[in-house]
C-alpha cells in the first residue's frame, strides 16, 4: 500500500475512479437508449399525416376518418351551428377556446375523435347517435359532453377535443398532420 | 437463508453428497422441515401457500399458452380462437389461466385481509408486508397486461382507458402516454411490449415472493393471538403439521377453482371480451376485471375540479385527483406498519377496531359494486362514500383509534391461549 501511495491518491484510487466513470457513462447511456426505444418508431411517425377527401360530406353531416390509428371527426357545420358556436361565452369555459381558432374555415370542424378524459370515442358523428346537450358529442364512457366546436362543456374530461394540424390542399381535400 | 450452526446428517448418501456441495437439503430442512411455527394457525394462514400454488399454475399454463399465441393485432384474437377450438386441451389451458388470474387474486386478497386483521404487518414484519404490497402491485400490472393479449374489445378499450390515466400527469402526460403506447393509439407496438412484459413479470414476482418469504423466516410467522412465541410450548415444526394443513387447504381451494374452470368458466368474464378489438368503436360500457373494480371506483369518485377560489383557474382537475387517489389507495398500504399505533397487534383483542375493519370490508364491497356500474346516481354515491371511508380508515381511524381504544388483554402466551380453549 505505502509504496504506491502518492500525493493526491493511489493507483487503486485512479482505477476505481476511471472504472466508476466508465460504468456511469455506460449505465446512463443504457438508461437513455432503452426507454427511448419504446417511443414511436420511424414507420409509426411516417404514418403521421393523412389526406382526406371531404367533397362528399353534405352540410350538417359528419364523417369519421382515421388519423394515426385514431378516429378523426370531420363535420360540415350548418350556418346556424356556426352562429351558435361563435356566440358562446368561450372565456368562461373549462378549456377556453374561440370557435374562430378551432375552425379556420367556419363550415369545417376537424377534431380528433378521442375523448380527452380517458380516450374513448365520443358518440355523435353518425346520424342517429346521441349528441348530448350541447349538440356536439357525448362520450359513452363517463359522459363528457362536447359542443360543435369540440369544446368540453360538461363531464370529467379536462380539455377540448384536439384540433390536429391540417391544411386545405384544395377546397375539397385536406391534409391532416 | 442458510443457517450456519449445526449440520444435519442425511441417511441417503446421494443427498448427503449433494448437500455437502450445495446445502439445499439443510436449507429445506431448516426452513420447511424443522422450522418452528406457532401452533395455533387457523386456515387463513394457508393462503400464502395457496397463492404460491396459483403463481405456479399461472406460470405453467402461461408458458404453454404462449406456444400457440401470436402477439400481433391482426392475429392475436384468431390465435386464441384457434387455441380454444383446435389446440389439444387449449380450452383447458386457457380457461385455467383466465380463471386462474381471478383465483390468484382471491387467494391474495384473503391473504392480505388476514394480515390486516391479525396485525401481521406490524413490527418486526414491516418488510414482509412491504414486499407483499410490491407483489400485489406487480400482479396487478401483470394481470392488466395479460388481459390485453386476446386483443378483444374489452382488452383494447381497457388498455386505452387505463393508459390514458397517465395523461393526467401535469406537463409530460401526453408524451408519457405516447411512450407507453409506442405510437399515437393503442396498436401493435402496445400489444408487443405488453406481451414481453406479461411474460417477464411473473418471474419477477417469483423473485419478490422469495424475498417476502425470506424476510418472513427471519421474523417468524405471526399468529391469531398476535403474541410472539415465547417458549418451545408455543411452537411446532412446520413439517408435518403445516405441510399437511396447507396441502389440505390448497386442495380444497383447487377443487373450487377447478369446479369453476370446468362448469362455469365464463362466470367472471365480460361478453365484450369475446369480440375482436375495434379501435373505431368504443363498447357502451367498459368494465375492468372484478379484482380491479374497487380501485376503478376510487378513480371515478372524483368529479369536481378544484379551482383557485373565485376564478376559473383549475388547480387540480378531477381527473388528476382520481388518478392520485387510486395510486395512493395502494401505496398507502406501504406505510401501514407506521400508521398503526395500537399497543395490541391482533384485532381479536380490539373490540372497536374489529367493527372498523368490518366497515372497511363493506366499503370495499361498495366500491366493487360502484366500479361495475356507470358512474352516476346511486353507484357514484357508493363510490364516493366507499372512497371516503377507505381513506378515513387508514389515515385517521388506524392512527387515532390505536391511541384511545380500550383493548382487551391478550393471553400471556400462545400455549396459554390454546389451553384456555381458544384457537
Ligand atoms: C402472475 C401470473 C400471471 C397472471 C396474473 C396472468 C394473467 C393473465 C390474464 C388475466 C390473461 C387474460 C386471459 C384471457 O382473458 O383470456 C392472461 C393471458 C395470457 N397470459 Fe398470463 N398471467 C400470468 C402469468 C403468465 C405467464 C408466466 C405467461 C407466459 C410465460 C403468460 C402468458 C399468457 C398468454 C400467452 C396469454 C394470452 C392467452 C389468453 O388470453 O388466454 N401468463 N394472463
Ligand atoms: S373517456 Fe370520455 S368521459 Fe371518460
Peptide bond into B240 cis (omega under 30): yes
Cβ(B329)–Cβ(B391) under 8 Å? yes
- Distances from the Cα of A26 to the Cα of A34, A37, A136, B142, B366, angstroms: 12, 16, 53, 30, 50
Q: Whose CA is nearest to atom 4 of ligand 2?
A: A142
Are residues A136 and A164 part of one domain?
yes
Q: Which residues in chain B are closer than 8 Å to A71, comparing Cβ atoms?
A: 279-280
The alpha carbon of B13 is separated from its chain's Cα centroid by a whole number of angstroms, namely 42
CATH number of B55-220: 1.20.810.10
Q: Phi and psi for B178 in degrees, rounded to 5?
A: -60, -40
CA distance B138 to B16: 38
Cross-chain Cβ contact B164/A39 below 8 Å: no
Q: Does the beta carbon of B66 sit less than 6 angstroms from any atom of ligand 1? A: yes
SS3 content of chain B, % helix, strand, coil (to 5): 70, 5, 30
Asked if A69 lies within 8 A of B318 by C-beta distance, the reply is no
B80 Cβ closer than 6 Å to some ligand 1 atom: yes
Give pLDDT tens digits for B17-75: 999 999 999 999 999 898 999 999 999 999 999 999 999 999 999 999 999 999 999 99
Instruction: Quick: pLDDT tens for B212-247.
Output: 999 999 999 999 999 999 999 999 999 999 999 999
Helices (H) and strands (E) in chain A, counts: 4, 9
User: With an 8 Å Cβ cutoff, are B286 and A141 in contact?
Assistant: yes
Q: Which domain holds residue A12?
A: 5-37
Give the domain CATH number at A109.
2.102.10.10
Please confirm, yes or no, whether B221 is among the known catalytic residues: yes
CB contact under 8 A, B161 and A71: no
Among partner residues B163, B314, B318, which is closest to A156 by beta-carbon distance? B318
Reported confidence tier of residue B423, pLDDT bands at 50, 70, 90: very low
Q: Is A177 on the interface with B (CB under 8 A)?
A: no
Q: How far apart are the first and last CA of chain A?
A: 66
Closest of A156, A177, A173, A154 to residue A165, by C-alpha: A177
Are residues A16 and A84 located together in one domain of the fold?
Answer: no
Domain co-membership, A9 together with A60: no
Domain shared by A86 and A15, yes or no? no
Same domain, A32 and A71: no
Give A113-153 pLDDT, tens digit per residue: 999 989 999 999 998 899 999 999 999 888 899 999 999 99
Q: Is B36 on the interface with A (CB under 8 A)?
A: no
Confidence (pTM):
0.91
In B133-282, beta strands by DSSP E: 235-237
In angstroms, the separation between the Cα of residue B320 and the nearest Cα of chain A is 9
Specify the range with the lowest mean pLDDT, choosing from A140-154, B119-133, B260-274, B328-342: A140-154
> What residues of B are in contact with residue A159 (Cβ under 8 Å)?
none
Residue B277 CA to ligand 1 centre (angstroms): 18
Rounded alpha-carbon distances, angstroms, from residue A150 to A80, A136, B30, B247: 16, 7, 67, 60
Let me know if B245 is a catalytic residue.
yes
Every domain range in chain B assigned CATH 1.20.810.10: 55-220
Give per-residue pLDDT as tens, B320-368.
899 999 999 999 999 999 999 999 999 999 999 999 999 999 999 999 9
Amino acid at each position: 500500500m505505502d509504496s504506491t501511495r502518492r500525493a493526491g491518491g493511489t493507483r487503486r484510487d485512479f482505477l476505481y475512479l476511471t472504472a466508476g466513470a466508465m460504468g456511469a457513462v455506460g449505465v446512463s447511456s443504457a438508461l437513455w437508449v432503452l426507454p427511448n426505444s419504446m417511443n414511436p418508431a420511424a414507420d409509426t411517425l411516417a404514418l403521421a399525416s393523412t389526406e382526406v377527401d371531404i367533397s362528399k360530406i353534405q352540410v350538417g353531416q359528419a364523417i369519421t376518418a382515421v388519423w394515426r390509428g385514431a378516429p378523426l371527426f370531420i363535420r360540415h357545420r350548418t350556418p346556424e351551428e356556426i352562429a351558435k358556436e361563435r356566440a358562446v361565452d368561450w372565456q368562461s369555459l373549462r378549456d377556453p377556446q374561440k370557435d374562430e381558432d378551432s375552425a379556420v374555415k367556419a363550415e369545417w370542424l376537424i377534431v380528433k375523435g378521442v375523448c380527452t378524459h380517458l380516450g374513448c370515442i365520443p358518440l355523435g358523428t353518425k346520424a342517429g347517435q346521441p349528441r348530448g346537450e350541447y349538440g356536439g358529442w357525448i362520450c359513452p364512457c363517463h359522459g363528457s359532453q362536447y359542443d360543435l366546436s369540440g369544446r368540453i362543456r360538461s363531464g370529467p374530461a379536462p380539455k377540448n377535443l384536439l384540433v390536429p394540424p391540417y391544411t386545405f390542399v384544395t377546397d375539397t381535400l385536406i391534409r391532416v398532420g | 437463508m442458510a443457517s450456519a450452526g449445526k449440520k444435519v446428517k442425511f441417511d441417503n448418501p446421494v443427498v448427503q453428497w449433494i448437500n455437502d456441495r450445495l446445502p439445499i437439503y439443510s436449507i429445506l430442512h431448516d426452513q420447511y422441515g424443522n422450522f418452528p411455527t406457532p401452533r395455533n394457525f387457523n386456515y387463513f394462514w394457508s393462503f400464502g401457500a395457496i397463492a404460491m400454488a396459483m403463481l405456479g399454475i399461472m406460470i405453467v399454463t402461461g408458458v404453454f399458452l404462449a406456444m400457440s399465441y401470436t402477439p400481433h393485432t391482426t392475429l392475436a384474437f384468431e390465435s386464441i380462437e384457434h387455441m380454444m377450438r383446435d389446440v389439444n386441451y387449449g380450452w383447458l389451458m386457457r380457461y385455467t389461466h383466465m380463471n386462474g388470474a381471478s383465483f390468484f387474486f382471491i387467494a391474495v386478497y384473503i391473504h392480505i385481509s388476514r394480515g390486516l386483521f391479525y396485525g401481521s404487518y406490524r413490527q418486526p414484519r414491516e418488510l414482509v408486508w412491504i414486499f407483499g404490497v410490491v407483489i400485489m402491485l406487480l400482479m396487478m400490472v401483470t394481470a392488466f397486461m395479460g388481459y390485453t393479449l386476446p386483443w378483444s374489445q374489452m382488452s383494447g378499450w381497457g388498455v386505452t382507458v387505463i393508459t390514458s390515466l397517465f395523461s393526467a400527469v401535469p406537463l409530460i402526460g401526453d408524451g408519457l402516454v405516447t411512450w407507453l403506447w409506442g405510437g399515437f393509439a393503442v396498436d401493435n407496438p402496445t400489444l408487443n411490449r405488453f406481451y414481453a412484459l406479461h411474460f417477464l413479470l411473473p418471474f419477477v414476482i417469483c423473485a419478490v415472493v422469495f424475498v417476502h418469504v425470506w424476510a418472513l423466516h427471519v421474523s417468524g410467522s405471526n399468529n391469531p393471538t398476535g403474541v410472539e412465541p415465547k417458549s418451545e410450548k408455543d411452537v411446532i415444526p412446520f413439517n408435518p403439521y403445516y405441510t399437511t394443513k396447507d396441502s389440505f387447504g390448497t386442495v380444497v381451494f383447487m377443487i373450487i377453482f377447478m369446479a369453476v374452470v370446468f362448469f362455469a368458466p365464463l362466470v367472471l368474464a365480460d361478453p365484450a371480451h369475446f369480440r375482436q378489438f375495434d379501435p373505431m368503436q368504443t363498447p357502451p360500457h367498459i368494465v375492468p376485471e372484478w379484482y380491479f373494480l374497487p380501485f376503478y371506483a376510487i378513480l371515478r369518485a372524483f368529479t369536481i375540479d378544484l379551482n383557485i377560489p373565485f376564478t376559473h383557474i383549475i388547480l387540480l382537475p378531477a381527473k388528476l385527483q382520481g388518478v392520485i387517489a387510486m395510486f395512493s389507495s395502494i401505496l398507502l398500504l406501504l406505510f401501514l406498519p407506521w400508521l398503526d399505533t395500537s399497543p395490541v397487534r391482533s384485532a381479536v383483542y380490539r373490540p372497536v377496531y374489529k367493527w372498523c375493519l368490518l366497515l372497511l370490508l363493506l366499503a370495499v364491497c361498495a366500491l366493487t359494486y360502484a366500479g361495475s356500474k356507470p358512474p352516476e346516481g346511486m353507484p357514484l354515491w357508493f363510490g364516493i362514500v366507499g372512497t371516503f371511508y377507505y381513506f378515513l380508515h387508514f389515515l385517521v381511524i388506524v392512527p387515532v383509534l390505536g391511541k384511545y381504544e380500550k383493548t382487551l388483554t391478550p393471553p400471556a402466551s400462545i400455549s396459554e391461549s390454546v389451553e384456555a380453549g381458544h384457537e
